[in-house]
Amino acid sequence: MSPVVVADDVTKRYGDTVALDGVDLAIDDGEVFALIGPNGAGKTTLTRCLTGTRTPDEGAVELFGAPPGEVQADRLGLLPQDFNPPDRLTPRELVDYYAGLYDDPRDVDGLLETVGVNPEVETWYGDLSGGEQRRTCVAAALANDPSLLFVDEPTTGIDPAGRRALWRVFEDLAAAGTTVFLTTHYMAEAQRLADRVGLLADGRIVASGTPDELVAAYGGDPALDVDTDATPDDLADAGYTVEATDDGLRVQNIAPEDIGGVVDAFESRDIAFDSLSWSEPDLEDVYLALTDDPDVVDADSEEVAA
């Protein structure tokens, strides 16, 4: 099976800034690929090069085996990060406008309902909340029922319930065979939706694989966090790898069945603690290990205005 999306040694510069530095990528038919990476890593630039809205300085891009400009428009869906439709249209008018550009569009009201926007609403796009605007834009990007969809930060600014609703939309698209390329700052989004994840840093793909492969390779070990005033020295003779954290101690490489032994080690040394919290590594740990970026967004705890 030949890949649907190919980037071959793609380099893009803006003046002295090297936004992409030799990116290789191949995405198979029906795959959901999530591109993650810090601000300025080059995600939007790569999305633009792949969709033909930017031309690489070096290297080549192919969609369905052809340059992006030669691909039939109704096969592609694109939701750019900075998509800015006319303000004075209702959601139905707006999606209807995009649907009208294609021969065989999806049903507009059904699309709006799918993304959680009431098709009857008479509010102009410009007066919708940020989350409602983004959901309307997702509906517009799906108007032609694309077989390849590019979405650049599709759920930024959407509240947690709305984000999960959109995840279900993307999961349904993937189940129906749509190839999806998405960029996101939400590690939970990449972990849940993506068959494969690529981590872009300074214009280079520094790691790629399934979420499980990346976690196994870079995520570290499961750990037990202990809320305590103790220091690592207090447990120096206990045989554990222990490091200090903001709230106390982290005991590394602890399986669930080892937790009792750690508690015994604390109690036998008369070390007081308030609480224990065990966690397995996830994609966020991978991201932090490979980028050292403190601004990674936790999709479950982030506060957003709907």
Ligand X SMILES: Nc1ncnc2c1ncn2[C@@H]1O[C@H](COP(=O)(O)OP(=O)(O)OP(=O)(O)O)[C@@H](O)[C@H]1O
Q: Measured from the CB of residue 113, what is the shortest distance to ligand X in angstroms?
A: 30
Among 6, 23, 33, 37, binds ligand X (CB under 6 A): 37
Asked if residue 301 binds ligand X (CB under 6 A), the reply is no
Number of residues that bind ligand X (CB under 6 A): 12
Report how far apart, in Å, the C-alpha atoms of 215 and of each of 205, 282, 288 are.
16, 6, 11
Among 45, 90, 179, 291, binds ligand X (CB under 6 A): 45
Partners of residue 277 on adjacent β-strands: 225
Q: Measured from the CB of residue 194, what is the shortest distance to ligand X in angstroms?
A: 17
Q: Give the pair of three-digit tokens for residue 52.
A: 């033909």
Asked if residue 44 binds ligand X (CB under 6 A), the reply is yes
> Shortest CA distance to 146 belongs to which of 101, 183, 81, 113?
101
Please give the angle made by the CA atoms of 85, 54 and 93, to the nearest 5 degrees: 15
Interaction residues for ligand X, span 66-105 (CB under 6 A): 81
Among 31, 43, 140, 150, binds ligand X (CB under 6 A): 43
Among 2, 9, 14, 252, binds ligand X (CB under 6 A): 14
> Shortest CA distance to 121 belongs to which of 92, 141, 94, 95?
92
Asked if residue 40 binds ligand X (CB under 6 A), the reply is yes
For 185, the 3-state DSSP assignment is coil
**What is the longest distance spanned by two Cα atoms in the chain?**
74
Q: Measured from the CB of residue 7, what is the shortest distance to ligand X in angstroms?
A: 14
Q: Which parts of this chain interact with ligand X (CB under 6 A)?
A: 14, 17, 19, 37, 39-45, 81
